[in-house]
Amino acid sequence: MGAPGDIEDLIGLMARLPGLGPRSARRAVLMLLKKRGPLMAPLAQAMAHVALSARDCSVCGNIGTEDTCPICTDPRRQTGEICVVEDVADLWAMERAGAFRGRYHVLGGTLSALDGLGPDELRIPLLVRRVQEEQTREVILALNATVDGQTTAHYIADALAATGVQVSSLAQGVPIGGELDYLDDGTIGAALRARRRV
Amino acid sequence: MGAPGDIEDLIGLMARLPGLGPRSARRAVLMLLKKRGPLMAPLAQAMAHVALSARDCSVCGNIGTEDTCPICTDPRRQTGEICVVEDVADLWAMERAGAFRGRYHVLGGTLSALDGLGPDELRIPLLVRRVQEEQTREVILALNATVDGQTTAHYIADALAATGVQVSSLAQGVPIGGELDYLDDGTIGAALRARRRV
């Protein structure tokens, strides 16, 4: 309260964004109001455009502005490798790293009886079909190193066993720039077990 | 990088909001993308509407959606009292408190030689004219208790001296719910000097 009605409504909607509360949403809207021309109008326009045009890629589940996302339609991407990620955010993180040249499959979460997320909700049957149809050589499981992520990884490996595709997962170990003193015991143990000859 | 172009543009604009950085802007946009219907479209619409309709009140400097703000046009607000605030955020805070029934005057900052803010930029001549034209009985200076705020308060009191209007400022003391043990020395000293008989 305090601001005129329309502006209060906008503050209320902004406050629902992650990382913003009622107070910081108010501050953000005030800043937008002071920069109506250079920032607020373009932001509103960009948001309306994306809200209208964004859709889930029918092949991999990535979010883009076309029916099939730019990665799935890019002829330079290798077709023989599918990288399985939990979420679109993870796909974007992989793309920022720029280390993978194949295609993706977004699950949309991890198996969770509590949240009612079974294999069908996670697009796992779709993944099995893609592997068969696209003559995939390798499926790389890039799931989070959490209990849920690893449970889901095991389930997918089982589901893909009949197709004969090679299934691998991201290596676990010391992160680049990581200092042993600050690493948790689990990571140090995993890095020791997966040690390599130099 | 990582997301398609239009979405990256939106993330870039969101990252310019106070309280959001590149990382949290990405998280906010992903959340919006997942709630395109219930949240993203209404937010874009509300923002576009406010960006188009918001304007500074020609009388007091408050931001509203009309040429004159709802407070200045409200016939139930007393005309004899003007509360001077630094910023629209302070006006909104005063309104949330609901303790003031007069009208406002928004300076838009404090006097600052460094930032090139002089009396004209702060709408101080406009305040002097309002005081004369509106037969104001009292000007209440609700400026922040900072060095800049208090310097500006003194300047305004001097500028208004010739009009004969009564000039007052917010009381300084222990905040409601405040514990002495956690208060700074300046506040305790001010509260002691302004002590009242009970």
Would you list the DSSP string of A62-115? -EESSSS-HHHH-TTS-SSEEEEESSHHHHHHHHHHT---SEEEE-SS--BTTT
B40 and B103 both lie in a single domain: no
A26 and A74 both lie in a single domain: no
Burial class, A171, CB count within 10 angstroms (exposed 0-12 / middle 13-18 / buried 19+): exposed
Determine the Cα–Cα distance for residues A151 and A111; give it in Å rounded to an integer. 7
Q: Is the CB of residue A33 less than 8 Å away from at least one CB of chain B?
A: yes
pLDDT in tens, B83-96: 999 999 899 888 88
A42: distance to nearest CA of chain B, Å? Answer: 8
Residue A11 lies in a domain: yes
Determine the Cα–Cα distance for residues B17 and B40; give it in Å rounded to an integer. 16
Strand bridging mode B138-141 / A138-141: unpaired
Taking an 8 Å cut-off on Cβ atoms, the answer to whether B19 and A16 are in contact is no
Mutate to test the interface with A, among B1, B11, B17, B49 (most CBs of A within 10 A): B17
Determine the Cα–Cα distance for residues A48 and A183; give it in Å rounded to an integer. 43
Q: Which of A139, A144, A145 is nearest to A124 (CA)?
A: A139
A94 and A149 both lie in a single domain: yes
Residue B195 lies in a domain: no
Residues of B in contact with A93 (CB under 8 A): 2
Residue A193 lies in a domain: no
Q: What is the CATH number of the domain that holds A153?
A: 3.40.1360.10
Q: With a cut of 0.90, is the ipTM above it? A: no
Residue B143 lies in a domain: yes
Which pLDDT score is estimated for A183? 83
Determine the Cα–Cα distance for residues A168 and A134; give it in Å rounded to an integer. 18
Q: What is the CATH number of the domain that holds B20?
A: 1.10.8
B48: distance to nearest CA of chain A, Å? Answer: 5
A41 and A123 both lie in a single domain: no
Portion 5-24 of A in contact with B at CB < 8 A: 6-7, 9-10, 13-14, 16-20, 24
Residue B198 lies in a domain: no
Phi and psi torsions of A186, nearest 5°: -60, -45
Residue A22 lies in a domain: yes
For residue B140, the enclosing domain spans: 76-169
Residue B80 lies in a domain: yes
pLDDT in tens, B108-124: 889 888 888 888 888 99
B81 and B165 both lie in a single domain: yes
Taking an 8 Å cut-off on Cβ atoms, the answer to whether A9 and B91 are in contact is no
A159 and A74 both lie in a single domain: yes
Compute CA A84 distance to the chain's CA centroid, rounded to the nearest angstrom. 10
B49 and B93 both lie in a single domain: no
Determine the Cα–Cα distance for residues A82 and A131; give it in Å rounded to an integer. 8
A38 and A74 both lie in a single domain: no
B40 and B81 both lie in a single domain: no
Taking an 8 Å cut-off on Cβ atoms, the answer to whether A69 and B44 are in contact is no
Residue B1 has pLDDT above 60, yes or no: no
What is the number of domains present in chain B? 2
Residues of B in contact with A70 (CB under 8 A): 4
B118 and B150 both lie in a single domain: yes
- Nearest Cα residue in chain A from B94: A2
Portion 37-66 of A in contact with B at CB < 8 A: 39-54, 63-65
pLDDT in tens, A51-86: 998 999 999 999 988 889 889 999 999 889 999 999
Q: Which member of B1, B29, B39 has the closest CB to residue A96?
A: B1
Q: What is the mean pLDDT of chain B?
A: 89
- Nearest Cα residue in chain A from B90: A2
Sequence length of chain B is 198
Residues in chain A with pLDDT values less than 70: 1-2
B48 and B127 both lie in a single domain: no
Question: At CA B112, angle to CA B129 and CA B153, rounded to 5?
Answer: 50
Residue B49 lies in a domain: yes
pLDDT band at B107 (very low <50, low <70, confident <90, very high): very high
A36 and A109 both lie in a single domain: no
Portion 94-123 of A in contact with B at CB < 8 A: 94-96
